[in-house]
Amino acid sequence: MTRVTVLGAGGWGTAFALVLADAGCDVHVWARRDAVARELHESRTNSVYLPGIELPTGVRATTDAAAALAGADLVVLAVPAQALREHLVRWAPLLPPAAPLVSLAKGVELGTGARMTEVVREVTGAAQERLVAVSGPNLALEVARREPSATVVACTDDTTGHAVADACTTASFRPYLSTDVVGVEVAGAVKNVVALAVGIAEGLGYGDNAKAAVVTRGLAESARLGVALGASSGTFAGLAGAGDLVATCASPLSRNHRAGVALGQGRGVQEVLGAGQVAEGVRSAAAVLGLAHSRGVQMPLTEQVAEVVAGRRSAAEAARALLSRPRTTDGI
């Protein structure tokens, strides 16, 4: 039986632990907070992050990372993007030397512009073949309810990719394999920024035409950045790109979408984040933009989201700025 350690017991870490357990793995979850670990371990529920969901028997939880990681065949990293490095520095000496390291986070690191597998590689020194990104249209609550969902398991090494896909294939959760780690990670990070933009449009009271324009132009700029970083453009038409935008931009379950609506309604970013929302796009917007600037890539939508999030521009001003840009000729 594959022994898997999931580091992070938020919505997605917990839902992914459920998937792994359904797939027949021996699952050990690390939670940051004692109360979450105890509830998961004793009642097999996580009422803060996944109300109404019961995990399969056998899933264990602890706040002791060393105990959670002992003997792991596979390690899943499920903490938010901006917290990954600080945690990994502590976890690195505890990681089993050969286990694949799977990143679930959708973000780009502020200050470095690093993708999540780049952070993992820098901190742990793990070979590229051990690094895996899992990303797709995967709203945690729907996955945990065992509603049909597909995802992308991206790894440069086929054998590792298949091993991770085997560990998370169930009757309702279907992974597709890709070797385009860069594309899958860029698509996941930028979609959170686009979801904020769609929410902002909604909060401003705009209709479906505006939202469709934001999604489509957001996808175009996501693909532009990805290709500049070496990704395949096809990745952005797939599950990790267009697929995740469809799910996130339409769903009231998306925290980025909800945060965007609040920003569009004129609420400040502190108020939005203070309401318990972990919306990765809020912090990734500036990081994605920095990465784009470093490669000479234009990302006008991301630029406006970063302005709104920083409080330098109102949502209405951002919309006006986008509508008054010089005409472009790419036609997509």
Ligand X SMILES: O=P(O)(O)OC[C@H](O)CO
191 annotated as ligand-binding: yes
Q: Which stretch binds ligand NAD (CB under 6 A): 137-145, 217-225, 289-297, 316-324?
A: 137-145
User: Should residue 194 be labelled a site residue for ligand NAD when binding is judged by CB under 6 A?
Assistant: no
Cβ distance 300 to 325 under 8 Å? yes
Pick from 123, 140, 152, 197 the residue near ligand NAD by CB under 6 A.
140
User: Should residue 283 be labelled a site residue for ligand X when binding is judged by CB under 6 A?
Assistant: no
Which positions are annotated as active-site residues?
A: 191
Closest to ligand X by CB, 123 vs 185, is 185
Taking the C-alpha atoms of residue 318 and residue 174, their distance in angstroms, rounded to an integer, is 38
User: Should residue 153 be labelled a site residue for ligand X when binding is judged by CB under 6 A?
Assistant: no
Pick from 82, 103, 124, 138 the residue near ligand X by CB under 6 A.
138
By a kind-dependent CB cut-off of 5 to 8 A, residue 32 interacts, out of ligand X, ligand NAD, none, with ligand NAD
Pick from 3, 4, 11, 235 the residue near ligand NAD by CB under 6 A.
11
By a kind-dependent CB cut-off of 5 to 8 A, residue 83 interacts, out of ligand X, ligand NAD, none, with ligand NAD
Taking the C-alpha atoms of residue 33 and residue 251, their distance in angstroms, rounded to an integer, is 28
* Cβ atoms within 10 Å of 237's Cβ, excluding its own: 14
User: Should residue 80 be labelled a site residue for ligand NAD when binding is judged by CB under 6 A?
Assistant: yes
The count of residues interacting with ligand NAD (CB under 6 A) is 24
254 annotated as ligand-binding: yes
By a kind-dependent CB cut-off of 5 to 8 A, residue 222 interacts, out of ligand X, ligand NAD, none, with none
Structure tokens at 85: 């490095």
Structure tokens at 34: 């004692």
Dihedral of CA 279/283/289/292: which sign?
negative
3 annotated as ligand-binding: no
The count of residues interacting with ligand X (CB under 6 A) is 14
User: Should residue 222 be labelled a site residue for ligand NAD when binding is judged by CB under 6 A?
Assistant: no
Closest to ligand X by CB, 256 vs 304, is 256
Pick from 22, 280, 303, 307 the residue near ligand NAD by CB under 6 A.
280
Q: Which residues contact 106 (CB under 8 A, 6 or more apart)?
A: 81, 135, 185, 188, 189, 191, 192, 280, 284
Residues in the site for ligand NAD, rule: CB under 6 A? 8-13, 31-33, 49, 78-81, 83, 104-107, 138-140, 278, 280
Residues in the site for ligand X, rule: CB under 6 A? 106, 137-139, 192, 195, 244, 247-248, 254-257, 280
Q: Which residues are annotated as a binding site?
A: 8-13, 32-33, 49, 106, 136, 140, 191, 244, 254-256, 278, 280
